[in-house]
Structure 1
Amino acid sequence: MNEYTAIDDIKRAYDAQVQSRTIYKQHDASWRQAILRKLAQEIDRNQNLIVAAIASDFGKSAVEVEVTELMPVQMELKEAIAKLPRWMKNRKVSRSWKLFSIKPYLHYEPKGNSLIITPWNYPFQLPMAHLISSIAAGNTVMLKLSEFSPHINSVIRKIIEAVFPADHVFVVEGAKDETTFLLGLRFDHIHFTGSPAVGKVVMQAASKFLSDVTLELGGKSPAIIGPKVNLRTVIRNIIWAKFVNAGQTCIAPDYVLIDHAYEHEVPILFKEEILRAFGDRPAESPDLARIVNDKQFDRLTQALNEAVDDGATIWVGGDSSAEQRYIAPTVLSDLKAESTLLQDEIFGPILPVIYYTHIDEALQLIQEKEKPLALYIFSGNNAFVQRVINHTSAGSTCVNDAMVQVMHPNLPFGGVNNSGIGQSFGWYGFRAFSHERAVADVKLMPLSKFFWFPYTDKTKRLLRLFRRFMA
């Protein structure tokens, strides 16, 4: 188990970053590209260690580490390195004929010293992706890692220390005390990924200094299955998105809403496709990750047992092992509306299914809950798709697939209200860690030439002329 970072060391690194942030702010695109290339090389050099460490923390397969941890970071690095000069360039704004003497533009500057607090569920991808955005924008970074992923934390620390001095990037390991200490410090930007409950704590701490925040939270992300679909293909998509990383994904489908017309086929197809994916003994499948710790395991099994005791019907799965922190891929229906599985974000390999007779029933159910981080629509009927989009709100939406929206380099990732504030990844991540400064470059006469003291009748006549002209 890793030792937590000493508070004195955190304070020393923080003070150094406060002093050096103006230095790193001045570095141009080529310097930032070079440091990101060095980071990319160090990650490539340590790929085997990354795979082994994440397997040690919660049994994630090498393929899943490649797909969900390494590949997204490599894509993020490639995007930032290639496009950073364009991102940093002053952005032209249309001139106004009413203020013809002003040349307006936007200038992107680093916010300064940043704090990034990351979760355990994607313990390599998320710290690195947000670090890349902050470094690309020209900031210093205090990078707080989750205490629940100690093995990969050691590898991350090794990589960071090989690339960055402590006055540029500093890794913090610890739990509540270390996080509380960090939140008591003044940062120009705080990026937090985690639950809405902790997000509120972070936002409250940020308010003390009026620090900018990006909050990536969560919520109950629905998957709606409507008309004109290949039902087997849809169910395979949902199974992958739900059970990759053992369901411990903030944008995993949290529950499925499906037309009653499919009620005879759906249970059979879920059973067949889960059997095909994980075999008749899924506990022995090398492709199924484990629950990260006992606390999360107990929370999930308690919620599942309560649902079954209240009359829920398990279609497939349901078994578990506390010793292995294993929960089988589980699909169930007939849950009561007040069930914990339908009220709280599940964040595990349990998938409730709810039937609807008319789409309005499904839309009302979604509208009654907090706005989700993601919403999935499966239908070949464009009118159906647009109706769902127009009558719901979500951080992102994916049509006829699941989770792929987060991989698109030109789309932002982020929530809305309870599921998050702000956006991340690619250009949107760079912009989140940058201040978009408005610059008005006056090329001709300054305004004071027309309205200089003392104000006279001539000034008033000129003002009336200006108002007719400007309004």
Structure 2
Amino acid sequence: MEALKNQVSEVFALQREYFLNHLKSAPLSVRKYKLKKLKKWILAHENEICSAIHADFKKPYFETRISEIFPTVSAIRHALQNMDNWASADYAEGGLGYLFTSSKIRKEPKGVVLVISPWNYPFMLALEPAISAIAAGCTVMLKPSENTPHTSELLKKMAEEVFKPEELTVFLGDYTVSQELLKKSFNHLFFTGSPQVGKIVMKAAAEHLTSVTLELGGMNPAVLDETADLKDAAEKILWAKGMNSAQTCVSVNEMYVHESVKDKLVDALHKAEKKLYPRGYEQGEDMSVLVNEQHFSKVKEMVTEALDKGAKTLLGGEMDDANRWISPTVMADVPKECKLRNEEIFAPVVVLTAYSDLDQVISDLQEKPVPLSAYIFSKSRKNQKKFLAGIQAGTTCVNDTTIQFAQPNLPFGGHGNSGIGKAHGKFGFLEFTNQRAELRQRRGFTSAKLIYPPYDKKWKQLIVKTFIKWL
């Protein structure tokens, strides 16, 4: 433990010195060079990335390419294309009260930052915030998850081959490593994980008044009203529940389906299953497995509890204990007190609840913690508008699920229980940026001097009244 403490302190001091004396005032070309090196490394090690993630939880190579490598490379490309604009100062108008002044918002990097990343997308969710931090001009100390050791080892190798320790360093290990890192007074902290751990991270950050970005999760609902294109909706939902075995923070947890189309939706889901998985589910080729025994056992217990209390399986329900695998599963008649309806599932299991009144669904959702994502499948603009205006969520999507995450020009993040702050593109860049106000005043006479003491002059009182009324 003493060796870890010394290593953390040494790297933190090294990055702090490098940032203050070199990086803070370095031109944008320095940041761009780092991102280009990172992109080159990723493209040269594509197969290694796929192999590492497959070794951790049998994620299909195709899925890794579209959900880990592609978004990471795209994030670098997007930053390189837009960094000049993001980093440029924004000029601010002042009005007559600030006559003769000029004002602007200077974009300056925050400094030494900590990124604690999760296991579910172990490559992409480690590097996307790091990319935003590098683009903003920060140094990075990165702690990937111990639950995906092969990917974490590869991230460490990447860091050593692409960056200097003062630029980006990867720390491997369990929660005790995170605890040691959180003792330092970072300039910003980016955490992706559960709300429970997010509270611990935020409490540690509060000791140093460190700003935070918390990307958490939640019970993401999807409404399918009586006008929904059921074939289309079934394919999209089933695809998202199969992707990464639904170990995805924006995955649908509960479908609220209008009672008039419930049976038709179930039929559409069965047809979608045959279309998307015509040869069945081959682990490592069509679907990943759950990340470890602990997570598999938790999900299995949630399903068992619901079945014991009268729930019905409408689709799937297959489990392979030896390989930690669960088929895409739809369950109905799940009692409200069951964990499946109160805890983020993080597995290819979804609850189906029939409804008759959309207003009641919205009212019920308002009583729950704010989810990271909420979805509606509907042809009715009226129902879409009512749903989007009535609920709260970090992100929303109409007639699809999950894909809003990858839109680079949209902010991604939660609200309340599902997170604090935003990621991706310009929004991620600004999380690692201090937007510093800068005002320049002329010498000699200024409009502000009109209200200097003494205050007993009638013309000054008139000026103040004019300011209050008109400026």
TM-score, normalised relative to structure 1: 0.95
**What residue is the counterpart of 2:464 in the other structure?**
466
**What residue is the counterpart of 2:337 in the other structure?**
338
- The superposition leaves residues 52-106 of structure 1 with CA deviations (integer Å, 9 ceiling, x where unpaired) of 0000000100111011101111110011001111111111223313322221111
**What residue is the counterpart of 1:259 in the other structure?**
258
- The superposition leaves residues 332-363 of structure 1 with CA deviations (integer Å, 9 ceiling, x where unpaired) of 10100111100101011111101101112211
Task: Name the SS for the 1:331 alignment partner.
Answer: strand
Distance, in Å, in 1 between the alignment partners of 2:112 and 2:295 is 33
Q: How many residues align?
A: 467
Question: Which structure 2 residues correspond to residues 277-316 of structure 1 after superposition, within 5 A?
Answer: 277-279=276-278, 281-283=280-282, 286-316=285-315
**What residue is the counterpart of 1:21 in the other structure?**
19
Residue pair 1:279, 1:285 contacting (<8 A) in 2 also: no
Residue pair 2:117, 2:191 contacting (<8 A) in 1 also: yes
Question: Which structure 2 residues correspond to residues 320-399 of structure 1 after superposition, within 5 A?
Answer: 320-399=319-398
Question: Is 1:151 the counterpart of 2:113 in the alignment?
Answer: no
Q: CA deviation at 1:309?
A: 0.8
The root-mean-square deviation of aligned C-alpha atoms, in Å, is 1.8
**What residue is the counterpart of 1:106 in the other structure?**
105
**What residue is the counterpart of 2:235 in the other structure?**
236
**Runs of 4+ in structure 1 over 6 Å off:** none
Cα 1:443–1:227, aligned 2, differ >3 Å: closer, same or farther? farther
Question: Is 1:268 the counterpart of 2:262 in the alignment?
Answer: no
Distance, in Å, in 2 between the alignment partners of 1:303 and 1:192 is 26
Residue pair 2:329, 2:349 contacting (<8 A) in 1 also: yes
Distance, in Å, in 2 between the alignment partners of 1:236 and 1:457 is 76
Q: CA deviation at 1:179?
A: 0.7
**What residue is the counterpart of 2:55 in the other structure?**
56
Amino acid at match of 1:13: V
- The superposition leaves residues 147-176 of structure 1 with CA deviations (integer Å, 9 ceiling, x where unpaired) of 011111121112121121111111011111
Question: Which structure 2 residues correspond to residues 71-220 of structure 1 after superposition, within 5 A?
Answer: 71-220=70-219
Amino acid at match of 2:134: I
Task: Name the SS for the 2:83 alignment partner.
Answer: helix
Q: CA deviation at 1:7?
A: 3.4
Moved more, 434-443 or 106-115: 434-443
Task: Name the SS for the 1:92 alignment partner.
Answer: strand
- The superposition leaves residues 198-256 of structure 1 with CA deviations (integer Å, 9 ceiling, x where unpaired) of 11111111111111000000000111112433211111001111220001000011111
Task: Name the SS for the 2:157 alignment partner.
Answer: helix
Amino acid at match of 1:425: H
User: Identity over aligned residues, as a percent?
Assistant: 33
Residue pair 1:98, 1:470 contacting (<8 A) in 2 also: no
**What residue is the counterpart of 1:414 in the other structure?**
413
Residue pair 2:231, 2:268 contacting (<8 A) in 1 also: yes
Amino acid at match of 1:450: L
Residue pair 2:61, 2:285 contacting (<8 A) in 1 also: no
Cα 1:284–1:152, aligned 2, differ >3 Å: closer, same or farther? closer
Moved more, 327-336 or 23-32: 23-32
TM-score, normalised relative to structure 2: 0.95
Cα 1:439–1:227, aligned 2, differ >3 Å: closer, same or farther? farther
Task: Name the SS for the 1:116 alignment partner.
Answer: strand
Q: CA deviation at 1:37?
A: 0.6
Q: CA deviation at 1:281?
A: 4.1
Distance, in Å, in 2 between the alignment partners of 1:103 and 1:406 is 38
- The superposition leaves residues 82-141 of structure 1 with CA deviations (integer Å, 9 ceiling, x where unpaired) of 111111111122331332222111110011110111000000101111000001111111
- The superposition leaves residues 266-307 of structure 1 with CA deviations (integer Å, 9 ceiling, x where unpaired) of 222212222332346425572111000011000000000110
Residue pair 1:278, 1:285 contacting (<8 A) in 2 also: no
- The superposition leaves residues 439-468 of structure 1 with CA deviations (integer Å, 9 ceiling, x where unpaired) of 122246346643556x3633x642442342
Distance, in Å, in 1 between the alignment partners of 2:94 and 2:407 is 32
Residue pair 1:249, 1:347 contacting (<8 A) in 2 also: yes
Distance, in Å, in 1 between the alignment partners of 2:405 and 2:463 is 52
Amino acid at match of 1:457: D
Cα 1:285–1:11, aligned 2, differ >3 Å: closer, same or farther? closer
- In structure 2, the gaps of 5 or more residues are none
Residue pair 1:271, 1:315 contacting (<8 A) in 2 also: no
- The superposition leaves residues 25-57 of structure 1 with CA deviations (integer Å, 9 ceiling, x where unpaired) of 112212211111111101111111000000000
Q: CA deviation at 1:146?
A: 0.3
Question: Is 1:10 the counterpart of 2:8 in the alignment?
Answer: yes
Task: Name the SS for the 1:191 alignment partner.
Answer: strand
Amino acid at match of 1:428: F
Distance, in Å, in 1 between the alignment partners of 2:308 and 2:286 is 30
Amino acid at match of 1:109: E
Distance, in Å, in 2 between the alignment partners of 1:385 and 1:452 is 56
Task: Name the SS for the 1:38 alignment partner.
Answer: helix
Amino acid at match of 1:352: V
Task: Name the SS for the 2:171 alignment partner.
Answer: strand
Distance, in Å, in 2 between the alignment partners of 1:116 and 1:384 is 39
Residue pair 2:451, 2:464 contacting (<8 A) in 1 also: no
**What residue is the counterpart of 1:450 in the other structure?**
450
